[in-house]
Chain A
Amino acid sequence: MNALTVPPTAVASATVQRRRRRLRARRAALVGWLSCTPAAIVILVLVWFGVASTIQHSFTNWNGFSADWVGMKNYVDIFASGDFFERFRTNLVFLASLPVLLVFCVSVAVVIYDHIPGWRFFRSVYYIPTVLSSAVVGMIVAVLFAPRGAINTFLGRVGLESLAQDWLGRTDTALGVLLMAFFWQSLGQGVLVFLAGLSTISPEIIEAASVDGAGWWRRLFTILLPLLAPTSAYFLLTNVVYVLVDLFSLVYVTTQGGPGGTTTPVDYTIYLKAFQEGNLGAASALSVVLLVIVFACSWFQLRLIDRIGE
């Protein structure tokens, strides 16, 4: 059969089919857009309008009551003041810890998935700290690590007096304590996410990476982690955003940004500039800079997710 011998009805069908496809596509587009409209409206009005207002105010010296145009001054202050990286140091430290957190959560998830003794109990218990607010987590940690708090008292009692120190009074140990609180809070969420991811992998492969036998660690890395890539991507995306944008509540209660302001993440700085100093213009500029960074990270990660999904 060739085109010349194709019966006329078949050709008409093709056109009708094309038209039907286009109609279906248009219907889908209509349904699609209508489904998304309420969400788009809420997000546009309540978030992006605020962002636009922030961008506009970043070029002024707004203090809430009056706003004079100052051009790029706020941005110049941020980039030329020489402490740009210091501002982001706390965020960067947390970012750098994410791979460790990832491996930690995956390991625990794998082991629980493998039904080691007590797995049901562990699965439940690890999530409880995640359910607590950052204020609670921060307070617990601050009370435990106070100079005469529980940890130092305990160390004194077991004869490890020399290890007792001013945990929150030195930047490195303060960051360590904060990271510990962050891990404590995030373990449960990570385990749950990876348990879900593991259930999408065929049991035989998991069998191959079971806990018994030598080389378990290596098998984890070479077999399981690549298969868990989509889950890891989801986990990393949500946690990267959290680490860049939401550390305020934890730090506020634990170290108040100290010692000497060295554990102050950027969103805390924004809070201080806006509400303590009343310099809402500078706070807006810093917000914009943070936004750009977060978008860059997220876009990069979404592209990765897309590529993995193929």
Chain B
Amino acid sequence: MRKKNGPARWGISGLLAVLAVAALAPLLYMITTSFRTLQEFASDPLALPATLNPENYIGLSSRFDVVQLIGNTAAYAGVALVICMTIAIPASYALAKLRFRGATLLFVGIVATMGVPMISILVPDYLLFVQLGFEDSPVGVIGMWVARALPSTIFLIASVLRALPDELIEAATLDGAGYFRRMRSIVIPLGLPGIVTASIFNITGWWNDLLVPLVFLQSDDKQTLNAGVATIGQRMVTSDVPQTVTGLLVSSTVPIILYVILQGNIRKGLVMGSVK
């Protein structure tokens, strides 16, 4: 849609630019704050850093084994993702494409699960995992993450798959392709953008989760990055805003990098029904 860019369009562009500044400015503010000392920040919250003072980053890495925490979080998220997709893709396919009795009820039930607040089931689920012997284990975190992500993942992937033309799948079935062949050669490749989108949404949510790792993991060396960084604040000690900001910033880099790399796939994934 190449258009001639008249004044009206440039005007709108200007408005969007203001919006973009509003979207980015707070983030840039955090970055500049992370390079300032507490005294600098308190005397003038708006100024740019006097020098690129890395002390907050040093403070972070002195206090935490940041690499280990990132490794933990990435490992848990990775495993959770594989499990989640293995379970969600067949279910999404069935609910989107197969017509069988009870499908609607099942679908409604799964979507309804999205409305259960994590806080409400935190304690009962922890007790369950303790009874299974997982009181201080990544198994608990991974289990909760999968449970949390499944409903919305199925909702998203089913919506994407529903837009796929039935003929493709029927053709494969008539060809004699078995269930798993159908999955591997048709459903997954065609639904891939949706799968990638759901994966990114999930990983972002899991990466930023605080309460579940806090409760389900008791050892510091198994902890996730976000939950670990949250222990910086202390009772009655002056709040070190630049330090806290630095911790949160480092913790945010992974989702941001992931997004930047996989931008194109997110957009393709949400395109519902444009597969011709």
Contact = CB atoms under 8 A, between A and B. Distances in A.
**Direct chain A–B contact by Cβ atoms under 8 Å:** yes
B117 A210 contact: no
Decide if the interface of chain B is mainly helix, strand, loop or mixed. Answer: helix
Given A108-B16, A135-B226, A150-B29, A199 B274 contact: yes
B58 interface: no
Interface stretch (B59-67, B70-78, B147-155): B147-155
Interface stretch (A29-37, A68-76, A170-178): A29-37
Contact of A197 (B23, B30, B272): B272
A310 interface: no
B99 interface: yes
A133 B241 CA distance: 17
Interface string B175-209: 00001000000000000000000000000100110
Given A117-B10, A299-B108, A143 B241 contact: yes
B5 A153 contact: no
Nearest to B9: A116
A199 B120 CA distance: 39
Nearest to B273: A200
20 contacts: A29-B102, A36-B90, A39-B90, A40-B106, A43-B151, A47-B116, A54-B124, A122-B19, A125-B23, A125-B24, A129-B27, A131-B259, A136-B249, A139-B244, A144-B26, A150-B46, A234-B159, A241-B115, A291-B117, A302-B111
Given A144-B29, A199-B271, 9 more contacts: A36-B95, A39-B87, A50-B121, A112-B16, A115-B2, A122-B17, A126-B23, A139-B248, A287-B117
B82 interface: no
B154 A39 contact: yes
A196 B44 CA distance: 43
A274 B123 contact: yes
Contacts of A195: 267, 270
Contacts of A134: 208
Nearest to A38: B87
Contacts of B115: 241, 244-245, 291, 294-295, 297-298
Interface string A154-196: 1001000000000000000000000000001001100011011
Contact of B23 (A36, A187, A244): A187
Contacts of A249: 210
Q: Is the interface of A mostly helix, strand, loop or mixed?
A: helix
Interface string B239-276: 00100110011011001101110010011011111100
Interface residues of B, number: 95
Interface string B34-59: 00000000001110000000000000
A298 B111 contact: yes
Interface of B: 1-3, 5-6, 8-10, 12-13, 16-17, 19-20, 22-24, 26-27, 29-30, 33, 44-46, 86-88, 90-91, 93-95, 98-103, 106, 108-117, 119-121, 123-125, 128, 143-144, 146-147, 150-152, 154, 159, 163, 179, 204, 207-208, 210, 226, 230, 241, 244-245, 248-249, 251-252, 255-256, 258-260, 263, 266-267, 269-274
B16 A122 contact: yes
Given A36-B106, A287-B117, A50 B29 contact: no
Given A115-B2, A140-B29, A196-B270, A35 B20 contact: no
B101 to A, nearest CB: 6
B7 to A, nearest CB: 10
Given A39-B88, A245-B117, A129 B23 contact: yes
Contacts of A88: none
Contacts of A287: 117, 119-120
A280 interface: yes
A82 interface: no
Given A46-B125, A133-B208, A35 B91 contact: yes
A153 B208 contact: no
Contacts of A284: 120
A139 B29 CA distance: 12
A201 to B, nearest CB: 10
